[in-house]
């Protein structure tokens, strides 16, 4: 059974850097064709794709936030991290990680709510 | 920029069939797989269709996905509507030119 769990601070101050971690179970980051992505959803709004890291280490970023994001993977710990710099109130959102596996199926975590406020 | 356009909302009665469209702004919708996600109120999204028309185990066969090259769109069809199907539905695909994944704006399905 594949599960993903997001973790990180619930509250960050403006201008701070956010670091979120996605821990995978039942799926290895070293497995071919595994791709892990971060998606966010501001309250009442649509899903927004942020970034992705592939099994081979390739990384990809959404164009609007590219300069603020870094995605990385720790294969031995089976975790994927996302850092976002210079947080602002508009970054308040539920942050989800999701994994696409070899057969194309996409698994989602339950998400973690991040509020940006002083 | 590559965009996926969905109707803002659709509604239908229990037992009926509804189709939600997802139209690509340019390129060919058939060039990359389309996924569909269901998001019930207050919950995380879950996958109901992947790779255009594949259904995960546990998803009822009332859910089906298709691609129409002539309209450059993907569709999610839900037959035998049930009240539990009431949710937001998002399509998602890939802009291979710039290696970016794209979501549609979401469609709110009301079963009334």
User: Span A37-66, mean pLDDT?
Assistant: 96
Tell if the CB–CB gap between B45 and A105 is shorter than 8 Å: no
Chain B CB contacts of A48 below 8 Å: 103
- Percent of chain A with pLDDT strictly greater than 70: 100
Residue B1: the pLDDT is: 82
Give the mean pLDDT of A44-48: 98
pLDDT attached to residue A115: 98
Question: Which among B33, B44, B106 has the least Cβ separation from residue A108?
Answer: B44
What pLDDT does B17 receive? 98
Nearest residue in A to B33, CA atom? A104
Q: What's the token pair of residue A115?
A: 């509020």
What would the DSSP string read from start to end of chain A? --EEEEE--SEE-TTPPEEEEEEEESS-TTSTT-EEEEEEE-TTS--EEEEEEETTS-EEE-TTTGGGEEEEEETTTTEEEEEE-S--GGG-EEEEEEEE-TTS-EEE---EEEEE--
User: What pLDDT does residue A103 have?
Assistant: 84
Local confidence band at A114 (pLDDT 50, 70, 90 cut-offs): very high
**Is A15 a residue whose pLDDT tops 90?**
yes
Q: Cα-flanking dihedrals φ and ψ of residue B99, to 5°?
A: 55, 50
What are A53-108's pLDDT values in tens digits? 999 999 999 999 999 999 999 999 999 999 999 999 999 999 999 999 988 899 99
Side-by-side strand order, sheet with A69-74: A3-7, A18-25, A79-84, A69-74
Q: Do B105 and A46 touch (CB under 8 A)?
A: yes
pLDDT, tens digit, for every residue of B7-61?
A: 999 999 999 999 999 999 988 898 899 999 999 999 999 999 999 999 999 999 9
Q: Is B101 on the interface with A (CB under 8 A)?
A: yes
Which of A94, A108, A113 would you mutate first to test chain B, the one with the most B CBs within 10 A? Answer: A108
pLDDT at B96 over 90: no
pLDDT of residue B26: 86
Which of the two residues, A52 and B98, has the higher pLDDT score?
Answer: A52
């Amino acid at each position: 059974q594949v599960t993903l769990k997001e973790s990180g601070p619930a509250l960050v101050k403006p201008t701070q850097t956010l670091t979120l971690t996605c821990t995978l179970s039942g799926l290895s980051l070293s497995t071919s064709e595994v791709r892990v992505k971060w998606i966010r959803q501001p309250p009442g709004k649509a899903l927004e794709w942020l970034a992705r890291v592939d099994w081979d280490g390739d990384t990809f970023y959404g164009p609007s936030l590219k300069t603020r994001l870094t995605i990385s993977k720790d294969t031995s710990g089976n975790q994927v991290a996302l850092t976002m710099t210079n947080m602002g109130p508009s970054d308040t959102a539920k942050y989800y990680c999701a994994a696409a596996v070899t057969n194309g199926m996409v698994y989602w975590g339950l998400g973690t709510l991040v509020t940006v406020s002083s | 920029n590559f965009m996926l356009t969905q109707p803002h909302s659709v509604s239908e009665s229990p037992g009926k069939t509804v189709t939600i469209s997802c139209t690509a702004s340019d390129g060919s919708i058939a060039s990359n797989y389309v996924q569909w996600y269901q998001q019930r109120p207050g919950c995380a999204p879950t996958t109901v269709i992947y790779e255009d028309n594949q259904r995960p185990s546990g998803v009822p066969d009332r859910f089906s996905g298709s691609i129409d090259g002539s309209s450059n769109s993907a569709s999610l069809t839900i037959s035998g509507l049930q009240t539990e199907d009431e949710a937001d539905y998002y399509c998602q695909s890939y802009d291979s030119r710039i290696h970016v994944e794209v979501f549609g704006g979401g469609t709110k399905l009301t079963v009334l």
